[in-house]
Structure 1
Amino acid sequence: MKKQIFITMLLAVIAIAASAQMQDPVHFSVSQKKVAPDEIEVTFSGKIDAGWHVYSTALPADGPISATITTEKNEGAAPKGSLGHRGKEINQYDNMFGMNLRFFENSVTFYQRYKLTGKTYHVKGYLEYGSCNDEMCMPPTQVEFDFKGEGPADAPATEEKKELPAADTVAVADTTKADTAAVAPQATADTTGLWTPVIDELRAFDGAQSNTDHSWVYIFFMGFVGGLVALFTPCVWPIIPMTVSFFLKRAKDKKKGIRDAMTYGVSIIVIYLALGLAITAIFGASSLNALATNAVFNIFFFLLLVVFALSFFGWFELTLPSSWTNKVDNKASSTSGLLSIFLMAFTLTLVSFSCTGPIIGFLLVEVSTSGSITGPAIGMLGFAVALALPFTLFAMFPTWLKQAPKSGSWMNIIKVTLGFIELAFALKFFSVADLAYGWGLLDREVFLSLWIVIFGLLGLYLIGKLKFRSDGDDNRAMPVPCIVLGMLSLAFTVYMIPGLWGAPCKAVSAFAPPMNTQDFNLYNNEVHPRFKDYEQGMAAAKAEGKPVLIDFTGFGCVNCRKMEAAVWTDPQVADKLNNDFVLISLYVDDKQPLDHPIEIVENGKKRTLRTIGDKWSYLQRSKFGANAQPFYVIIDNEGKPLTGSYSYDEDISHYLEFMNKGLENYRK
């Protein structure tokens, strides 16, 4: 177990480092070939990483970044036609942009043909394209080309053209090294320090905030709560007093009876822990991490939880073959010592499956999609500890058995309540698949409508206005705790109703689809950046004594718009962005040309910054060591980070925690 924990921590550190590194999901190679005596074709062959896509050519102006080609020099040649493409083009409607978008996955080839008009030719320029996945987008990326050659023999002599004005040159050391300093393009002495790389400082913050112990404690706690709930089901609670009494009676002395009961509890822990370890071993770390966003698995989980919910409602009962239970029970009777106690614990596991199975299934679904490698094992450990605890405690203190509540109808109430909860959470997993495939079946208002119905019916059930067949003919009034919980469920139902018209409903924001999926939205609390220029915004922040929140974004960044619609519209988030920070939004795809092109040397290669977007993209890479959007970072008035970076995550509580941490460190 120690070895596994060490491996997990090592993988977590690697993941932290990887998250702070540059993304490079698309790889292009450039070549030229003669397709006719007087015609050449410049070809860009691209390989696209899994999960990413590259947008096609000639998309509408208000859409994402189209693939375009710019010819900077064409001596003895002239472009023939527009930029073309080869490959499987996908045409899909996008709710955020409200239009059909065309893009490529896995691979794509762009090509541009040139008509040769001179005896020699020289063509130079660059391809620019945009790429995204489900969580981030890359800035406009350029692939440069520069080809010379011989034209047709009978063509006139090539006329030389004047070179473009020389670009300002800024030599920049390799920004992948922590001890180098980037030089600000066109920066004055007063602002150069604002461009100094802070990659190591940012990674240190990200590493400090990635507390795997905290997530393990949370998963263990989830499992423990699940085990406590399982205790109060009709399949487990009645067995506790019988089992404890059996151990105490069969032992010659009380100490041995307590020892056997404790062994029984440990056996339960071993059995469930082994189940969790087996699931981790079978699926592996990468598979468990992939479940969080895999549409097929999320549909499977949705159906699984629906089946569990219907079982708890009493439609049918999930049971294992009785022959399994009989064989294990007979084996336990014919053996002695520790083996017999272990087999008795295994018998309990099989007998109680109809009640514990759905709870374990729900737990494993939640834990598996949390992205934790050891999640199933830790969750099952928590579940088993809670389940084994009463056997040990009642064996140590037998008089407590008399004070324990007797079995009764209250156990069925717990089962039915769990059925409603599992049904509600099943919709969360269907929502992930719906968003991944773009079906549009479970938009935010549809999701909220279903939750309103589910929790409304739960409230009616708990106050006694709704009955299930499993409740029998008992017409007695519901207990006071049930009525109180029913009132809370009905209040929660009323709380969600304004969400149908666009209210944020922060309590369900982590489960419901993003705000941008809602068709009818009367709520308008948009946040607009005060500055779209880095140096100007930093100067204002210093004058006002406020920290800076930099938003690296793009006009064609789908996920940036999702964050603005789902997170920035929250009243608490909007208030902090407007009043506690100076918000600077830097658009990495801003096509407005710089006054003078700037040549830089980055990672040993020369690049030319031609537009304002190029400049901000370079700032993000050189100073913060990242190149994907959305990307948020909080810095002080000297340009140093105050907390870790933040990427695409629509959890409002996480974003508030990110901002509060930055404010806290700034005030220190």
Structure 2
Amino acid sequence: MMSRSALVLVAFALCGLSAPVSAQPLGDPFPKDGFAPPAGKLPAKFAKLADVSVSVTPAKVKAGETVTVRLTVAPKAGGYTYPAAPEDAKQTSRNEIELPAPGDLIFIDPVTDPALKWETKPRDADAPNGPKDQYTHQAVTWAFKAVVSPKAKSGAKSIPLDGVRLQVCDAKNCYIVGGEKLPPVEFRVEEGTSDKVNPDDLKRAQAIVNGPPPANAGPGQVEPPPASGSPVKTESRKTAKSTEAYADELKTLGTAIVPADEAGTKQTGLWGFIATAALWGLISLVTPCVFPMIPITVSIFLKQAHGSLRERLKLAGVYSLTIISVLGVSAFALLKFMAVLSTDPVTNILLGVLFLVLALSLFGMFELGLPNVLQKRLQAKQSQGGVVGTIFGALAFTVISFTCVAPFLGGFAGISAGSDGSGGDIVLPTAREIAGGLAFATAFAAPFFVLALVPGLMKALPRSGGWLDNVKVVMGFLELAAALKFLRTAELRLLPATQYFTYDLVLSGWVAISGACGLYLLNVFRLPHDEERPNIGVPRLLFALLFIGLALYLAPALLKGADGKGQRPAGAVYAWVEAFLLPEDAPVLGAKQEDVWRTDLKDALDAARKSGRPVFLDFTGVTCTNCKINERDVFPQSAIREDLQQFEKVKLYTDEVPAALYGTDPGRQVRKAEAKANGEFQNSVFKDIALPMYVVLVPQPDGAVKVLGLTEGKINDTGDFSKFLKDSLEKAKSKK
């Protein structure tokens, strides 16, 4: 038997194997080092293979002048390194160089590799004529022009290369170094006015900081308008602003926004959320870890009460309240913080590994349990009987059953994090999570109290048996599917483009899992803990057909059409699956100018002042399932699209702004910082972090911005959403 403490060690060991370390297999893309030497000091293993230097020419400058920053990687004997932009974009072995965001130094050159003769080798040893990777044993120097900010104060400057990951290899291993372990960009700004300012370079630097559109561009665009008949992108491309400037801009806008003077917001009903939480709590009762314990526990109450109804109710009440307290706190914590944790790559890796371990346990590969020492102590306390023994019995049961309860609790919290009103009530942001956590825990604990009150109801419970083993295996398949989803989400946040857990791979995994689950229920194969069953019941047959049907329904989505795009099975089921698995491609809303979505709120408000239209603000996210459902299935509908065309539309991403929305990718560091500023703006102004959230704004003549309406969550009723848009348009007209 594997103890629970051993499980924790295994889970973290697996996470350690999946996380980057200092010694990496050849071709492993951009992990961080597993240790932290002093700033600017290369790790010993890396330093044996290469030297790294950073220089600034000239090293002493005045504000507004242009400098050249050189980053050099010089491999030693037996070492080699890679380009930053290899000819084959699919080459994963490369150096990652994201230049620092505009600050005291404004980089104006893109990242390009120096002109040298790169060596090549087959990417796959078994395919010598296949794709080849570029590498070199020579010293490589990347040179970048940068302008010292006109606002830079005099003094010594040190800029860390947080967005740089350098890789060197030898015949056995590859090593990665980046961030604070690299030498910083160091120079000194002297006082006084310079006569060496390059006007063209300064103009380019100011454009990067301020992002002004060219003279022939439409409002909020960086690119000129397309020729007649040319398609218009659904989201206007832009130039990245400095992180501080963008955050300050949002703070200024936030102070100008005033709430509506009437009930203009739509929140999801609290009672519906509570009912959903209770339903998930009840479903988790029908699991192998929980269901058999219900009659056993109630029998203990009956025995200890010695026929006294009062004593029986006291023990059942203490038992239930203990479960509600422990499980309720866990549920509240998950509901409260899942919206934030669900986008964190480390959290998703941990959850993916944990669900994989739980799935293998449910399949019968090993058994999970409490450590022997803790189990003996709990049994000793429980054997004392009375209130104390009942409390420890409830604690032991809650911990043991968490193996089966956790997937349901985590699933409910994860769905709620991106569902209607995940942020809760605007005035009391925690009331919703508290109510949901208590509802889940109370529904889970209720049978113990009810059966203690009316013991005769136990006769109506189905007997434990082989059907619970079937439930256990089906849960294992579901947890395996969830593990793939978590690992995909983590990779989306870690790498510029998915290489391993792609949408196609995860979807094919779901097809295989669904098909295997159906075949298992049909008794085509058995697992170690299964009983011999010559026949199956009707419910099991129906569930088997359901899983096999789901596999057949999803399978066509793996096939590509002539245009290279996957087929989309009709219906709401595939729409949900597609959005849940976070496809790489962006939705196409149309080819008219009215369909352009800005990604800068200030630009949208400026355009609204000129056009007289209200602003439709969409808080969204790359990893937000319900955002994608709305964008793919609701916004393109002709009636909704017609309504949206009467707004100035803007999207603010709160997890990471996609690189495709910029004219030139400023680097993940800048894109994440901009998204963080968007999220802080949403939370500070609207007291909510729900995704998606839709807000209608109208700029006023006095500079204020009026909130006319707010709604959030998955759009289940398009008619209701259309009414929200039309009502907002009417309110906007009345405010003129």
Tell me the TM-score normalised to structure 1 length: 0.56
Q: Distance in 2 between matches of 1:203 and 1:411?
A: 56
Q: Distance in 2 between matches of 1:428 and 1:395?
A: 41
Q: Distance in 2 between matches of 1:449 and 1:222?
A: 30
Shift of 1:308: 0.7
Q: Could you tell me the percent identity over the aligned residues?
A: 23
> Please, which of 392, 396, 401 is the counterpart of residue 449 of structure 2?
392
SS of the residue corresponding to residue 415 of structure 1 reads helix
The answer for the alignment partner of 1:268 in structure 2 is: 323
What residue identity is the alignment partner of 1:58?
Answer: D
* CA gap 1:397/1:335 in 2 versus in 1, 3 angstroms: closer
Contact persistence 1:634–1:642 (CA under 8 A): yes
What residue identity is the alignment partner of 1:233?
Answer: T
Q: Distance in 2 between matches of 1:288 and 1:300?
A: 14
The answer for the alignment partner of 2:465 in structure 1 is: 408
Contact persistence 1:368–1:376 (CA under 8 A): no
Contact persistence 2:282–2:443 (CA under 8 A): yes
> Please, which of 244, 253, 256 is the counterpart of residue 308 of structure 2?
253
The answer for the alignment partner of 1:486 in structure 2 is: 544
Contact persistence 1:412–1:470 (CA under 8 A): yes
Q: How does 1:81-92 map to 2 (within 5 A)?
A: 87=161, 90=164
Shift of 1:304: 0.6
> Please, which of 508, 511, 515 is the counterpart of residue 456 of structure 1?
515
Q: Distance in 1 between matches of 2:642 and 2:490?
A: 37
Q: Distance in 2 between matches of 1:574 and 1:471?
A: 49
SS of the residue corresponding to residue 319 of structure 2 reads helix
Q: Distance in 2 between matches of 1:361 and 1:37?
A: 55
The answer for the alignment partner of 1:228 in structure 2 is: 282
Q: Deviations over 1:443-482 (max 9, x none)?
A: 22222111111122223333443432222211221x3233
Q: Distance in 2 between matches of 1:449 and 1:419?
A: 17
Shift of 1:367: 7.8
Shift of 1:490: 2.8
What residue identity is the alignment partner of 1:459?
Answer: G
Shift of 1:209: 5.3
Q: Deviations over 1:241-287 (max 9, x none)?
A: 2332332343343343234323322232233345567x78xxx98x8
Contact persistence 2:695–2:710 (CA under 8 A): yes
Is 1:529 the counterpart of 2:593? The answer is yes
The answer for the alignment partner of 1:57 in structure 2 is: 108
Q: Distance in 2 between matches of 1:38 and 1:665?
A: 52
Q: Distance in 2 between matches of 1:178 and 1:421?
A: 43
What residue identity is the alignment partner of 1:663?
Answer: K
What 5-or-longer segments of structure 1 have no aligned partner? 1-32, 73-84, 93-103, 144-173, 180-197, 518-522, 592-620
* CA gap 1:121/1:205 in 2 versus in 1, 3 angstroms: farther
SS of the residue corresponding to residue 530 of structure 1 reads helix
Q: Distance in 2 between matches of 1:493 and 1:451?
A: 8
Contact persistence 1:248–1:395 (CA under 8 A): yes
Shift of 1:360: 5.7
What residue identity is the alignment partner of 1:262?
Answer: G
Q: Which stretch of structure 1 is more off in the superposition, 34-43 or 656-665?
A: 34-43
What residue identity is the alignment partner of 1:345?
Answer: A
What 5-or-longer segments of structure 2 have no aligned partner? 1-56, 70-97, 113-143, 151-158, 167-177, 212-234, 244-249, 561-565, 569-573, 597-602, 652-660, 665-680, 687-691, 732-736
Q: What is the RMSD computed on CA atoms of the aligned residues?
A: 6.1
Shift of 1:507: 1.2
Shift of 1:539: 12
SS of the residue corresponding to residue 317 of structure 2 reads helix
Q: Distance in 2 between matches of 1:260 and 1:40?
A: 77
Shift of 1:377: 7.0
Q: Distance in 2 between matches of 1:217 and 1:568?
A: 20
The answer for the alignment partner of 1:570 in structure 2 is: 632
Q: How does 1:176-191 map to 2 (within 5 A)?
A: 176=252
Shift of 1:340: 2.7
Tell me the TM-score normalised to structure 2 length: 0.52
The answer for the alignment partner of 1:311 in structure 2 is: 361
Q: Distance in 2 between matches of 1:139 and 1:292?
A: 29
* CA gap 1:483/1:255 in 2 versus in 1, 3 angstroms: same
What residue identity is the alignment partner of 2:347?
Answer: F
The answer for the alignment partner of 2:575 in structure 1 is: 506
> Please, which of 653, 660, 663 is the counterpart of residue 726 of structure 2?
663
Higher strand share: 1
Shift of 1:318: 0.8
Contact persistence 1:205–1:644 (CA under 8 A): no
Q: Distance in 1 between matches of 2:480 and 2:194?
A: 74
The answer for the alignment partner of 1:331 in structure 2 is: 381
* CA gap 1:573/1:400 in 2 versus in 1, 3 angstroms: same
Q: Distance in 2 between matches of 1:574 and 1:110?
A: 51
Q: How does 1:56-75 map to 2 (within 5 A)?
A: 56-59=107-110
Q: Deviations over 1:105-137 (max 9, x none)?
A: 899979999xx9x997898755232699xx999
> Please, which of 274, 285, 295 is the counterpart of residue 241 of structure 1?
295
Q: Distance in 2 between matches of 1:665 and 1:631?
A: 15
The answer for the alignment partner of 1:618 in structure 2 is: none
> Please, which of 283, 296, 320 is the counterpart of residue 370 of structure 2?
320
Q: Distance in 1 between matches of 2:608 and 2:403?
A: 61
What residue identity is the alignment partner of 2:546?
Answer: L
Q: Which stretch of structure 1 is more off in the superposition, 357-366 or 241-250?
A: 357-366
* CA gap 1:223/1:550 in 2 versus in 1, 3 angstroms: closer
SS of the residue corresponding to residue 365 of structure 2 reads coil
* CA gap 1:350/1:210 in 2 versus in 1, 3 angstroms: closer
Q: Distance in 1 between matches of 2:403 and 2:149?
A: 69
* CA gap 1:120/1:318 in 2 versus in 1, 3 angstroms: closer
Q: How does 1:414-429 map to 2 (within 5 A)?
A: 414-429=471-486
Contact persistence 2:278–2:440 (CA under 8 A): yes
SS of the residue corresponding to residue 506 of structure 2 reads helix
Shift of 1:302: 0.7
> Please, which of 22, 29, 41 is the counterpart of residue 65 of structure 2?
41
Q: Distance in 1 between matches of 2:466 and 2:662?
A: 63
Shift of 1:442: 1.8
What residue identity is the alignment partner of 2:285?
Answer: L
Q: Deviations over 1:625-659 (max 9, x none)?
A: 99xxx99865689997653499xx9x787999876
SS of the residue corresponding to residue 441 of structure 1 reads coil
SS of the residue corresponding to residue 65 of structure 2 reads strand
Contact persistence 1:298–1:432 (CA under 8 A): yes
Contact persistence 1:305–1:422 (CA under 8 A): yes
Q: Which stretch of structure 1 is more off in the superposition, 418-427 or 223-232?
A: 223-232
Shift of 1:345: 2.0
Q: Deviations over 1:380-429 (max 9, x none)?
A: 54443233211111122222111111111111121111111111111221
What residue identity is the alignment partner of 1:492?
Answer: L
The answer for the alignment partner of 1:468 in structure 2 is: 527
SS of the residue corresponding to residue 643 of structure 1 reads strand
Q: Deviations over 1:148-207 (max 9, x none)?
A: xxxxxxxxxxxxxxxxxxxxxxxxxx994999xxxxxxxxxxxxxxxxxx732479999x
Contact persistence 2:61–2:188 (CA under 8 A): no
* CA gap 1:455/1:537 in 2 versus in 1, 3 angstroms: same
Shift of 1:307: 0.5
Q: How many residues align?
A: 492
* CA gap 1:259/1:666 in 2 versus in 1, 3 angstroms: same
The answer for the alignment partner of 2:116 in structure 1 is: none
Larger radius of gyration: 1
